[in-house]
Amino acid sequence: MVLNVVGDMTLFAFAFAHPAMLAWLAAAAVPILIHLWSRRRYQETPWAAMEYLAAALRQRRRTLLFEHWLLLAIRTLVVALVVLAVAEPVEERGGLAAAPGERTHRVLVLDGSFSMGYTIGEKSRFEQAKELAARIVRASAPGDGFTLVLMSAPPRIVIGQPSLAPSEFLREVELLELPHSTADLPETLRQVEQVLLAARREQPRLTREVIYFVTDLGRVGWSLEGKDAATVAEFRSRSERLAEAASLVVIDVGQADAENVAVTNIRSRRPFATLTRDFEIEATLRSFPPRARPGQSVELWAEGRRVARQVLDLPAAGEVKIKFFHRFESAGDRVLEVRVPGDALEIDNRRWLAVPVKASVPVLCVEGRSTAGAKDAATRYLALALSPRPEESPLVRPEVVVESRLPEMELDRYECVFLADVAQFTSAEARLLGRYVAHGGNLVFFLGDRVQAERYQAELGKDQPLGIRLLPGQLGPTVDRVETRLDPLGYRHPVLDAFRGRERSGLLTVPVLKHMRLDLAEAGDSPVGAASSSAATARVVLALASGDPLVVEAPAGRGRVVWVTTSADTSWTYLPLWPSYVPLIQEMLDFLIRGQLERQNIGVGEPLNALLPATLGEMSLEVRDPRGRVETVRSRREDDRNAWSFAETWISGVYSVEAKTADTVTSSQSPGTDDAAALVRPNVFAVNVDPAESDLTPLNMEELRNETWPGVPFVHQRSWEPIDERTLGGTVPSNPWAKNLLGGVMVLLLVETFLARRFGHYD
């Protein structure tokens, strides 16, 4: 039954949620029947005294008749309004009908962790989740609103404003792609709450709220293990708020017996490859329950072709490390890939390593003395340690200059700069060094007799361009005390990895005659590299027995800085004469230039970014993702930086970058366009998944109810079926029209009582 009212060009319609109840409108005739039944028939008997009373009654007949009909109408209307309230009238506007009693805001949260790529038959869990979302939308009442949130890390709001057009919403669901990320449940709930708050302001007619989580309940995403107490407390408080206002439905598309094999790691000990020797990589394979995999094939791919293959036995719920060797044929940025044959979850069957392949490693050594070529010069010891066999086409090519030439050197040409016993630095030289590390360069400072600590402190202890601070603490004074024992501090720093287990290498027994005290800054007190990370702090690599630092390392900009508080020659220490000197210097160099390898190998969701030469102006670059899609980004010139960044790394694989050949370099001093394209380095990036998500173990219901959501009401389903949402948790607002009708009944009852007493008909 529908009542239409037209006015002001707007169509109002009233339907009824329970039209069968309207049959009870017949009860409205009960007061009339009672009235008719109660009419008395009189037998007239003449009586003189009554003649006067009859005459008076005839005068009030109309008044009494009006009073009776008014009370009858009120009593009849009371019955009719009660019946209409029970039938629940629902307002329709412009053809949009509400659900029984109210319109519903349905928030669909689809699990976007890459474990949803697990395939059973021909469809992945994520494809099943999208189909379930479509079923929910199609089964919803006209007038309901839909929003869509992807539960990933970080979560993504796909549709934030409630969509009242199901067909458009379903098109967005169909286009949704599974990212190769993990899931962040606490942050997802925060986003869901923001969506609900905005919808309540902008769509107040959506009076009911239902949140659907379509997920495989992977333990990595749904467990709160490892979360700090503050995050857990905030999550549970938010969960309780949501459960009070909305109904929570968890639709589980996972399988308890899912098995998986994944390449969980790929690493190299060397930070770069060369053309003259094999490059070694180590891959880690892991199997997850329930069974072992004998005869598991593992392949190494390079430049799009398989170059090696091994077969191994992989135990159940265990891991195996395997080594491959490969020699590159040309210099540049190259990619190696380790893969295993496909299983039900193919996303983690491949892992990539972007490798810088170098024909040589140029290193600059700056001598503090005027006689850089002298036999006892500090840089001579450094050059020999960096290239012990210079006659055999060495990989590391050290170039030695005196300190007066530092301002004229193009530092960006060098992988690392060693400064030995330089007396002092001017402000211009300090800025030059600051820009160098900001762009990814590396510095190593050796001290000595010529060093003026106060000048170092004045120029290197203050912020350089881009907030870089080169000196991590307070330098000076010189300590003239012989130390014959060094402390490796548990070999915690990567520079000392090669010395672990080799205590007889001589590293710990080097005599140090003098050193300069370096008091490191407290964490948060203007640490080195504050521009790149506010939490970055200096680390002591090697200490003296007295506790004073001997070797200190700290990040600075995109590069690193190392301070050695003794000399690079034999004036303050016998280290250059010890057998541990050469491996220590080479390990230090490897560690410093590893930054390029780390910047080229990142996790899913981390941005690609790099710096262009400062001589280039702003330019456009094309980023090609693993699916072959090309996006254009533009570099930004800020102060001394010319940087570009690309954030859409949601798919694992290889990303390549190149300058657009049609672009024009804006600087008059810049090289041509082709030269500019060649200067885009690095131009290959490897983006890999988080191996934690490869564990497909789901959270069971007991853990979900008692650990993740204790005391939070929700409905769990293995496959979505329509349910009576009024039985779910959440506050169910009453029907406003039914509420108004019942209020009218109360008013009419009060009016009826008052009039009956007033008219004298109350009994």
**Tens of pLDDT along 145-186?**
999 999 999 999 999 999 999 999 999 999 999 999 999 999
Asked whether the predicted pLDDT for residue 535 surpasses 70, the reply is no
The fold of the 604-661+671-691 domain, in CATH, is Immunoglobulin-like (2.60.40)
Per-residue pLDDT, 60: 61
**Residue 40 pLDDT grade (very low, low, confident, very high; cuts 50, 70, 90):** low
Q: How far apart are CA 481 and CA 539, in angstroms?
A: 23
Asked whether the predicted pLDDT for residue 7 surpasses 80, the reply is no
452's tokens: 């003026």
Name the DSSP letter for residue 704.
I
pTM of the predicted structure, to 2 decimals: 0.77
Per-residue pLDDT, 21: 66
Count CA atoms closer than 13 A to 472's CA, side-chain side. 31
Phi, psi of 526 (to 5 degrees): 55, 60
Q: Which amino acid is at 392?
A: E
Asked whether the predicted pLDDT for residue 703 surpasses 70, the reply is yes
- Please give the residue that has the higher pLDDT: either 43 or 434: 434
Rg of the chain (C-alpha set)? 40
Name the DSSP letter for residue 278.
P
Per-residue pLDDT, 756: 74
Of 146-150, 185-189, 368-372, give the lowest mean pLDDT range: 368-372
- For the stretch 493-496, contacts whose Cβ atoms lie closer than 8 Å and that sit 24 or more positions apart, written own/partner, are 493/539, 493/540, 493/541, 493/542, 493/553, 494/591, 495/541, 495/542, 495/551, 495/553, 495/584, 495/587, 495/588, 495/591, 496/541, 496/542, 496/587
Per-residue pLDDT, 679: 65
Average pLDDT, the chain: 84
Q: How far apart are CA 4 and CA 12, in angstroms?
A: 6
Per-residue pLDDT, 277: 87
Span 132-137, average pLDDT: 95
175's tokens: 């286009």
- From 15, 93, 101, 167, select the one nearest 725 (Cα to Cα): 101
Residues 6 or more apart whose CB falls under 8 angstroms from that of 190 comprise 238
Per-residue pLDDT, 53: 60
Span 454-464, average pLDDT: 89
Of 73-77, 114-118, 296-300, 473-477, give the lowest mean pLDDT range: 73-77
CATH of 103-257+697-732, one of 3.30.413.10, 3.40.50.410, 3.90.320.10, 2.60.40.10: 3.40.50.410
Please tell me whether the peptide bond between 682 and the residue prior to it is cis, using omega within 30 degrees of 0.
yes
Cβ burial 489-505 (10 Å sphere, 16+ → b, else e):
eebebebbebbeeeeee
Per-residue pLDDT, 79: 79
CA-CA-CA-CA torsion for 176, 182, 188, 190, nearest 10 degrees?
-140
Q: Would you say 142 and 104 are in contact if contact means Cβ atoms under 8 Å apart?
A: no
- Please give the residue that has the higher pLDDT: either 595 or 390: 595
Span 72-92, average pLDDT: 72
**Residue 481 pLDDT grade (very low, low, confident, very high; cuts 50, 70, 90):** very high
In DSSP terms, 206 is beta-bridged to: 103
Of 72-86, 148-162, 417-431, 450-464, give the lowest mean pLDDT range: 72-86
- Please give the residue that has the higher pLDDT: either 645 or 537: 645
Per-residue pLDDT, 57: 60
Interstrand relation of 539-544 and 549-556 (parallel, antiparallel or unpaired): antiparallel
**Where are the domains positioned within the chain?**
3-38+53-94+738-759, 103-257+697-732, 260-358, 361-599, 604-661+671-691
Asked whether the predicted pLDDT for residue 669 surpasses 60, the reply is no
Tens digits of per-residue pLDDT, 226-237?
Answer: 899 999 999 999
Q: How far apart are CA 654 and CA 422, in angstroms?
A: 43
Q: How far apart are CA 611 and CA 753, in angstroms?
A: 86
Name the DSSP letter for residue 98.
P
Tens digits of per-residue pLDDT, 318-360?
Answer: 899 999 999 999 999 999 999 998 889 999 999 999 999 998 9
Asked whether the predicted pLDDT for residue 458 surpasses 50, the reply is yes
- Torsion region of 95: left, alpha or beta (phi above 0 gives left; psi -120 to 50 gives alpha): left
SS3 state at 339: strand
Percentages of the chain per state (helix, strand, coil), in multiples of 5: 35, 30, 35
Asked whether the predicted pLDDT for residue 733 surpasses 50, the reply is no
Overall residue count recorded for the chain in this entry = 763
* CATH code at 260-358: 2.60.40.10
Tens digits of per-residue pLDDT, 232-289?
Answer: 999 999 999 999 999 999 999 998 888 999 999 999 989 999 888 899 999 999 998 7
- Please give the residue that has the higher pLDDT: either 553 or 99: 553
Place of tokens 């005390």: 481
Per-residue pLDDT, 626: 96
Span 33-62, average pLDDT: 61
Place of tokens 């490796």: 488
Q: How far apart are CA 240 and CA 244, in angstroms?
A: 6
Q: Which amino acid is at 310?
A: Q
The fold of the 361-599 domain, in CATH, is Rossmann fold (3.40.50)
Asked whether the predicted pLDDT for residue 724 surpasses 60, the reply is no
- Please give the residue that has the higher pLDDT: either 13 or 372: 372
103-257+697-732 and 361-599 agree in CATH topology? yes
1's tokens: 């039954």
In DSSP terms, 336 is beta-bridged to: 302, 353
> Cα–chain-centroid distance for residue 345?
22
In DSSP terms, 611 is beta-bridged to: 643
Helix axes 30-37, 48-87, angle to 10 degrees: 160
Asked whether the predicted pLDDT for residue 571 surpasses 60, the reply is yes
- Please give the residue that has the higher pLDDT: either 248 or 535: 248
Span 198-212, average pLDDT: 93
- From 106, 110, 125, 105, select the one nearest 214 (Cα to Cα): 110
